[in-house]
Amino acid sequence: MEGNILKGHHGLLNLGEEGKQDIFGYKSSRCRSVLFVIGSVLTCGFLLLLFYWKPEWDVWAKCIQCTLQEADIILLRTTDEFKIWTKKKVMWIHLSLLRNPARADQQHSLLSDETSLLHRIIMKPDLKVRYIEIQKIRYIWDLQEKQFVRAEVLEDSHSCADIRYKFGSGLTTTEETIRRLIFGPNTIEIQIVPIWKLLCKEVLNPFYTFQIFSVCLWLSEDYIEYSVVLIIMSLISIAFSVYDVRQQSMKLYRLVESHNNMMVTVCRKDGAYEKVPSSELAPGDVFLVTGNKQILSCDAVLIHGGCIVNESMLTGESIPVTKTPLPSVAIPNCWKSSTGDYKRHILFCGTQVIQSKATCQGEVKAVVYRTGFTTTKGELVRSIMFPKPMDFKLYQDAFRFLVCLTVVATIGMIYSVCILVLNGVPAGKVVRKALDVITIAVSPALPAAVTIGIIYAQERLKKKGIFCISPQRINICGQLNLICFDKTGTLTEDGLDLWGLVSTKGKGLQNIFKFSNGDMLPWGPFFGAMASCHSLVLLDNTLQGDPLDLKMFETTRWELKENTMLKQQNEEAHSFIVKPGPGANKVSKEGIIVLKQYPFSPALQRMSVVTQVIGKEKLTVYLKGAPETVIHLCKPETVPRSFSTELQRYTKQGFRVIGFAFKSLWNGRDITVANLNREDVESDLVFLGLLILENKLKPQTIPVLSELSNARIRTVMITGDNLQTAVTVARNAGMIPLTHKIILIEASQTKESGPAVINWKLMENNKNGGQICPDETKIPMERFEKRNFHFVMTGKSYDILMQHFYHLLPKLLVSATVFARMSPNQKGSLIEEFQKLDYYVGMCGDGANDCGALKTAHAGISLSEQEASVASPFTSKIPNIDCVPHLIKEGRAALVSSFCIFKYMALYSLIQYVGVLCLYWEANTFGNYQFLFEDLAITTIIGITMSFNHAHPQLDSNRPPGQLISPPLLLSVILNVVFSLVLHVFGFIMVQQQPWYTHRDIYRACKPTNLTNDDVTTINKTTNAIATTLAKNEDSYRSYENTTVYLLSLFNCITTAIVFSKGKPYRKPIYTNYIFMIVLLAQVGTCLYFLFGEQDTLYNALDLVCTPRSWRVYLLVMVLVHFFVMMAIEEIIIENRCIRVFLKRCCKVKSTQRYKKMQRIIKKEPNWPPEDDTEYATFCIMDEETKNKEQRTLEVYSNKSYEHDKISKEAPNGIANSTSKQNEEEGCKKEGI
């Protein structure tokens, strides 16, 4: 329908961001709308229902194409594999407030600023704004760009000076009102949808619509009992669904309730202060940050003063974070790029201001940056309200399977019409019976069957302390084959213990100073750094902050005090004093004032402070951070020659190592600390030494990782810690076996325009204690198998690989195990790259900096109960990774249960379908009570209890199948259908061959002349009375064929349930499901009673007739033979892995998963992994079209680009190639580098 695109009709929304969508413009057509109304009336509303399910059809039918600028209806389509369509109406905002002549000056000031977004979105002279709202976010029409843009006033293009100049003094009341009208109120409103609306939405679901159709058809045939039962069951199901949705809405409502009911002091442009509800804040407003545990109601940029905030809502860690004001940088760059780690200036919505300190400039002030659902908390709530759909083939296959059943039902319907017409059945009855076939072949309960196992698994997970906000992901957990782990707090203990200290001495390092001896560190630069270089704060007379900082500071036995001394202009808002405590060594220093603090940044991997000893003029800078980062900021002559050796010595033992440095600023009186630039402060430092901390593995780590390894589930570590430490922890935890080799990948780019370089180094285990160090010699490939190696890399290398060696990345990822120094964004990106390789990825972290990765993974498991982890699909109260195998086991059990119940429900429908079609041959069918007993007493109870099996306690080395439409499952269904057909047809034909059979006299079989001596004694019937009853019942279905086929159908349903009730290896054996076993025994006993009981009342009610006992025994033998044959086929053929592997080899069937393809490619390459080598990326200029084409190629991981060719050659599309060291010079000449 979108083939012929009108110019300006199509655009892209959120270009370059997550959630990118295609957008199409349409204009309403009255003529088409009238035709639609006529069509809806003629189809009795079905067309209306169809267009409700398919909004794109609705728009295509009722609207005409037009440009986005002219459109009043917008059609959106996601760009992912789901291609979900959404219809939105274009809305208008009328800014009538600006029409007042008294406000002409304000109108001019608002619209004259050409750099402002307001100038580009307000239509003049109409003073209107055009917008659409998508998932609670407003997108406003940009008149210059001719596209819809996200409604944010403080664009990233503003410089620091722009923000201070334009917004620093606040807004007028009119400006604030206009901005609030355009960008919406500052509220995160969770609407509690009325119950009647939820009910209507549930009922209009295609599943329930089909149920309504089925019930109406059955009621027309007086099949009242089961119709009533189905209505009751559907109502219960709808009630539970509505209750669940309602509860989720209430939880979200309580989460954000306080957000919308705060009072904030706003600064107006005229200097006045006004207390307003937080809902009236608009981007550009300036408000006072008061502290005292104030909860922030918006995202804001701090412009005056400083704050200490608790960002547990954002990071999952209740650690105070220091916020500094936006610097007065007079450069044209956008404020985010000009301030380095810009997040240290942003106060995020939902975080708590623990403390605020004003500078000499007055109050602590912040400019509103984002409001409502565009804030950080708003995005968190949106991620819960609109979760990302998961691509799981089970649900796609279930739909395809339903389509196949519909085709089978159509064939049966045609057959029914032909047979019934030939038998002279009235037309009305023919239509009803033909439609009956559809409701029999496609059971209304079939789609719901998939979710039964999930419901039970969710309850079992709750009992184990694992909570789920997205139950559909439980099935996906059964397919997980790669688990990513954070290190600190996940694999290792949360707390750190100070183990020792190594300080510099001349050109080397001194012997280690161990804290375990109880000795106190003497006064010196290292002591000063430990006492002052931290981000601790004093709250309610209690020190709070990072555990590392707490341990380090407590070791000094000094005390932290508030700076109550007279503040100087060069002091920062959060300056504090540290003084010797009662237990500290006696020193001549009164204390240290921390004048300025540069907080720790994950991107920079360091923090620093500017200090001054009380009573002295000299200023001292102390810095601590990752040792590799610290030494690059130090004077080379101060870095010991043995630095690398010493660092590796401790990191290989799993210690966490922190580097320290300092420098003195002698002319402290002439320096204005507030104007110091971080880059200048953190340069030309003197290296002090290393602080060594011990971080032990959790007791559960090694057993769990071993269990996952035995189950052939790959494990990967993604951490922000040091690479050597991470590698050692991976070794000790068993992620990397001691016999396997480790290859370090170091990617770098010397110049911005120069080639990127990859170095491959072997990290070898030495005999003397297993020290890990880079081996510069050639990697001896003959010493280890090709599969027994692991790649390790840092976040910096990962970024360069993503940018310059993307074609190599898949080959590296299939063998990479440790990723160190990874930022939160890099973690999320890595998860996505694994998913592109067709891995089912799980992520387990403690919530700190892992939130993005937890949401991106197929199954994110947060070990934190903080608000930040709310968006994680799974949250565990078990504070260790023991929850991971529990979740996988339950996922596998739920997945197998879903398959079993789905197959059973499909087979039950087809068994009944076969039986009915056989009886249609004689213009007969099952009676209402026969249907009722089979549907309710047999199938429904089995469907409910079949999934009660608990998960198997051990993880199997093979995953359960993840597709319904797979050869083993299809073969199982087809063979069961074929043998069921044979059983029914054989019984149907054989009963007609019996000597006592007659078409008219249904009592002949049990007359004494036709019975054996054993049968005579059982006949005590009142034949005349029964005949009289039968004569009155014109709709009686009693016949020998009916009785035979019905009894075979009952037993077939029970035996099929037994055959499909899988136990090992993913669930406990069937006999442990006690309720199910009791149900089966009761049902078998009841059916045997039907077969041999000969109760007149029962037979009359169920439309059964008496047959000779020998025939009943014959039927039982047929059932047993069928059962044993199907059980043998299922166990010996369908479930036999050896046969499956043999057939795959014979047919040369190979996995189509991308990571499997990559492994096969790698296996054929003799030079992979590379020997000790260096590779370069070469570049050439390409046009935009070629670049986009190449990007699309890379996104699907073209196998051609995987090939690792050591010979340099130019890529046909101009993208980067890899060349070996010896060919680099020639390659550079070719490319003009």
pLDDT at 299 over 80: yes
State pLDDT tens for residues 383-440.
Answer: 778 877 765 566 677 777 778 888 888 898 898 889 888 888 888 888 888 888 888 8
339/1109: higher pLDDT: 1109
For residue 1085, pLDDT over 90 is answered with: yes
Q: What mean pLDDT is predicted for residues 281-293? A: 85
| Nearest alpha-carbon partner for 1022 in 1096, 922, 970 | 1096
Angle at 543 between CA 538 and CA 546, to 5 degrees: 115
635 vs 1013, more confident:
635
Q: Is pLDDT of 645 > 80? A: yes
Q: Is a pLDDT exceeding 80 seen at residue 353? A: yes
In the chain, what percentage of residues exceed pLDDT 70? Answer: 82
Report CA dihedral (393, 399, 403, 405) to the nearest 10 degrees: 90
Q: Is the pLDDT of residue 626 over 70?
A: yes
Residue 351 predicted with pLDDT over 60? yes
What is the spatial distance between Cα 319 and Cα 354, in angstroms, rounded to a whole number? 11
Q: State residue 510's pLDDT score.
A: 81
- Is the pLDDT confidence value at 644 over 80? yes
How far is Cα 1069 from Cα 1075, in angstroms, rounded to an integer?
A: 13
Residue 438 has what pLDDT? Answer: 85
**Mean pLDDT confidence for 815-820:** 92
- Higher pLDDT residue, 722 or 1076? 1076
| Out of 197-201, 387-391, 515-519, 1182-1186, least confident range | 1182-1186
What is the pLDDT at residue 153?
61
The pLDDT of 1203-1209, averaged and rounded, is 34
pLDDT confidence bin for 241, thresholds 50/70/90 = confident
SS3 string, 687-731, reads EEEEEEEECCECCCHHHHHHHHHHCCCEEEEECCCCHHHHHHHHH
* pLDDT given for residue 447 in this prediction: 63
pLDDT of residue 1223: 40
CB neighbour list of residue 839: distance below 8 Å, 6 or more residues apart:
481, 482, 714, 1155
Average pLDDT over residues 1013-1029: 41
381 — pLDDT class (breaks 50, 70, 90): confident
| pLDDT at 704 > cutoff 90 | yes
- Which of 335-344, 382-391, 573-582, 897-906 has the lowest average pLDDT? 335-344
Q: What's the mean pLDDT in 648-666? A: 84
Identify which of 211-220, 850-859, 1104-1113 has the greatest average pLDDT: 1104-1113
- Strand-pair partners of 451: none
Rg of the Cα atoms in the chain: 37
Using 50, 70 and 90 to split pLDDT, how confident is the model at 980? very high
Rounded to whole angstroms, the Cα distance separating 468 from 477 reads: 12
Q: Is 842 helix (H, G, I), strand (E, B) or coil?
A: strand
Instruction: State which amino acid sits at residue 205.
Output: N
Q: Is the model's pLDDT at 325 over the cut of 60? A: yes
790 or 1213, greater pLDDT: 790
Residue 1008 has pLDDT above 60, yes or no: no
Check whether 902 has a pLDDT greater than 80.
yes
pLDDT at position 441 over 60? yes
pLDDT in tens, 260-273: 778 898 988 877 88
Kindly tell me if the per-residue pLDDT of 338 is higher than 60: no
Region 1018-1027: mean pLDDT is 40
pLDDT at 90: 93
Out of 162-171, 285-294, 669-678, 1108-1117, pick the least confident: 669-678
Active site residues per annotation: 486
Average pLDDT over residues 1134-1155: 81
How confident is the model at residue 830, as a pLDDT? 92
The model's pLDDT over 570-609, given as tens digits with 9 standing for 90+, comes to: 456 567 888 888 877 777 788 888 888 888 876 678 889 9
The answer to whether the Cα torsion of 1185, 1187, 1192, 1196 is positive or negative is: positive
Q: Which of 356-360, 900-904, 1095-1099 has the lowest mean pLDDT?
A: 356-360
Q: Measured between alpha carbons, how far is residue 514 from residues 503, 507, 587, 1203 in Å?
A: 12, 21, 21, 51
Closest by alpha carbon to 860, among 350, 470, 376? 470
Highest mean pLDDT of the ranges 123-132, 890-899, 1223-1232: 890-899
Query: What pLDDT shows up at residue 4?
Result: 58
Per-residue pLDDT tens digits for 75-91: 999 887 778 899 999 99
Give the pLDDT band (50/70/90) at residue 687. very high
pLDDT at 674 over 60: yes
Q: Write down the pLDDT at residue 24.
A: 94
What's the mean pLDDT when you consider all of the chain? 79
pTM across the whole model: 0.77
* CA distances from residue 523 to 497, 527, 579, 610, 686 in whole angstroms, order as listed: 21, 6, 13, 18, 17
The pLDDT of residue 1014 is 46
Mean pLDDT computed over 748-774 = 61
